[in-house]
Amino acid sequence: MALRNIVERGDEILDKKAKEVKAIDDHICMILDDMLETMRANNGVGIAAPQVGIRRRMFIVEVDGVVYEMINPEILEQSGSQCEYEGCLSVPGLYGRVERPEYVKIAGLNRQGERVVYEADGFLATAFCHENDHLDGQLFIDKAVDIKTAEELYADDEDDAEE
Ligand code: CO
């Protein structure tokens, strides 16, 4: 495995629709391994292939110790809404609230080429939607409200703690 450079906002690859993964071969699996290592090294909870410069439809989410690898994902169902703070490895230092479905049902392929379906709510649902957006060239920051820096967010947390 190897660490890869994370592409940051302003690079046009982040604005483009990623292409379907046609064949899950050793090269694709190596990229997935590198994505996981790179995400963990940067304390991320999700990473999409375009964020490491690969214009293919796949992402990884790791929540509560479970790694979800999704190739050619598709959101099948969604319902409800939530609007929580998000960040992104490609938008360092900025956070904002994004309206997302409270529940999603998402399908895709794992690295064995098997179809997998997950149902998620709350934070995991947000993570799936955030990463899926990357595959369509969308960044959270472009639809976020209440955008804050890490310092501002931290200051708000301290205010809350005092209440
Ligand atoms: Co992101």
Distance CA 106, CA 119 (A): 6
81: pLDDT strictly greater than 70:
yes
Distance separating alpha carbons of residues 61 and 128, to the nearest angstrom: 7
38 compared with 158, residue with greater pLDDT: 38
- Work out the percent of the chain whose per-residue pLDDT is above 70: 98
Distance from the alpha carbon of residue 26 to the mean position of ligand 1, in angstroms: 25
Q: Any idea which residue has 């992104």 for tokens?
A: 88
Catalytic residue among 131, 158, 162, 163: 131
Task: Tell whether pTM > 0.85.
Answer: yes
How is residue 151 written in tokens? 């310092």
CA 78 to ligand 1 center in whole angstroms: 20
CB burial string 132-150: b at 16+ within 10 A, e below: bbbbebbbbbeebeeebee
pLDDT band of residue 30 (cuts 50, 70, 90) is very high
How far, in Å, is the centroid of ligand 1 from the Cα of 27? 23
Domains of the chain by start residue, with CATH: 12-162 (3.90.45.10)
How do residues 94-118 score in pLDDT, each as one tens digit?
A: 999 999 999 999 999 999 999 999 9
Joined tokens for residue 142: 């472009």
Cα 47 to averaged position of ligand 1 atoms, centre (Å): 6
Q: Per-residue pLDDT for 163 more than 60?
A: no
84 tagged catalytic:
no
Cβ neighbours of residue 69 under 8 Å, at least 6 residues apart? 32, 58, 60, 110, 111
Whole-angstrom distance, CA of residue 132 vs CA of residue 84 = 17
Distance 11 CA to ligand 1 centre (A): 13
pLDDT at 162: 57
